[in-house]
Amino acid sequence: MARPRRIGILTAGGDSPGLNAAIRGIGKAAIGHHGMQVIGFRDGFRGLAEDRSVRLDARLSGILTLGGTILGTSRDKPHRMLVGGEIMDMTPSIVGTYEKHHLDALVCLGGDGTAKNALRLVRAGLNIITLPKTIDNDLVLTDATFGFATALDIATDAIDRLHSTAHSHHRIIVVEIMGHRAGWLTLGAGIAGGADVILIPEIPYSAESIAEAIRRRVRGGSNFSIVAVAEGAMNTEEAGPYAAAEARKRAASTPEEAVTAGQALGALEAAHAGNTMRLAAQLEALTGLESRVTILGYVQRGGTPSAADRLLATRLGCAGADLIRDGVFGVMVAARGEGTEPVPLELVAGKRKPVPPDHSWVLAARHVGTCLGD
């Protein structure tokens, strides 16, 4: 009698609503439907490198509605991990843990960075699938990522509530929403919440254009405005150098070049910190309306997942268990309409899905009169 297949599960990158629903989905399907054994590894790829594991069989009940991840997560990379103060390639340790536990497959729940790390481990000989997780919704070749729907609900509810103080005090309320390099969450919540201005990284903004839109609203009798701004939104002066730094990072032909270009990019991102406060002050000066800032931050990643995310995470997890049964590896389980599709990790790793300038959401925002900063 062949021994039951054994699969490992880890969660990596930023936490998001739906991670536990996905762990439950793939775990229950693997154990109950396919007769497999399931073990979890703590804190992303670090737990794998350090062989910190936990049997999941009895831990899958009661986690569907839990936020965060019962396994813990990290942004550690297998090939460049800080160990004892040194940056080390922990791939051999990871392969050793995989073999020690006689794993037949490893499931990595994460975003584009996780897909990149997973692909490296595929090339080291491991059987791997990934599930698409991120509140940013910026993974290519999947219709959806779990975490996004819940964050969209949270950010939209926040915008709804911020309208109260905006019109009561005749103020500009600037609300910063997560999304360093992709504006899906800000654009979606801005439209759903009826923001008057929506600023996303993909469309550089001019403070004067925004101020003129606000002044136009005042002339029309609305002496308040809601400005939804993505963490990574930039003005036109910043956008050029940033795009150039991103291009240098993409063009890097050696790991050293990639690290140097990444550091330059990081320095520019650090310089953008505080942009939201600066923009609010600029708009107050340009329009004469008081402005106030609310930064939603990690609230958007917290708490119980929405029904939509629970459903998405469960069905992606079950599809993942089916792929393992069929011996399909080296893929991301992509959401495709009502179904799923295995997409080769080579097509996903390290790629991001920015908001296209002619996307239907962008056109809808413009057509209802929303200012997009340009």
Interface ranges with ligand F6P (CB under 6 A): 14, 75, 111, 134-136, 178-180, 231, 301
Smallest distance, Å, CB 103 to ligand F6P? Answer: 27
Smallest distance, Å, CB 111 to ligand F6P? Answer: 6
Question: For the residues of 214-252, what is the DSSP string, one character each?
Answer: HHHHHHTT---EEEEEETT--BHHHHHHHHHHHHHHHH-
Q: Which tokens sit at 258?
A: 């990639």
DSSP state of 356: P
With H, G, I as helix, E, B as strand and everything else as coil, classify residue 314.
helix
Q: What's the start-to-end Cα distance of the chain, in Å? A: 66
Residues 6+ apart with CB under 8 A from 226: 159, 162, 163, 166, 172, 173, 175, 193, 194, 195, 196, 197
Q: Which is nearer to ligand F6P, 155 or 166 (CB)?
A: 155
Residue 136 a catalytic site member: yes
Smallest distance, Å, CB 327 to ligand F6P? Answer: 31
- Rounded CA gap, 42 and 52, in Å? 6
Q: Which is nearer to ligand F6P, 180 or 248 (CB)?
A: 180
Angle at 94 between CA 122 and CA 78, to 5 degrees: 75
Smallest distance, Å, CB 44 to ligand F6P? Answer: 12
Q: Which is nearer to ligand F6P, 38 or 233 (CB)?
A: 233
Smallest distance, Å, CB 90 to ligand F6P? Answer: 20
In the set 15, 43, 112, 136, the catalytic residue is 136
Q: Which is nearer to ligand F6P, 149 or 166 (CB)?
A: 149
Q: Which is nearer to ligand F6P, 181 or 315 (CB)?
A: 181
- Rounded CA gap, 104 and 108, in Å? 14
Nearest alpha carbon to residue 334 among 326, 325, 342: 342
Active site (catalytic) residues: 136
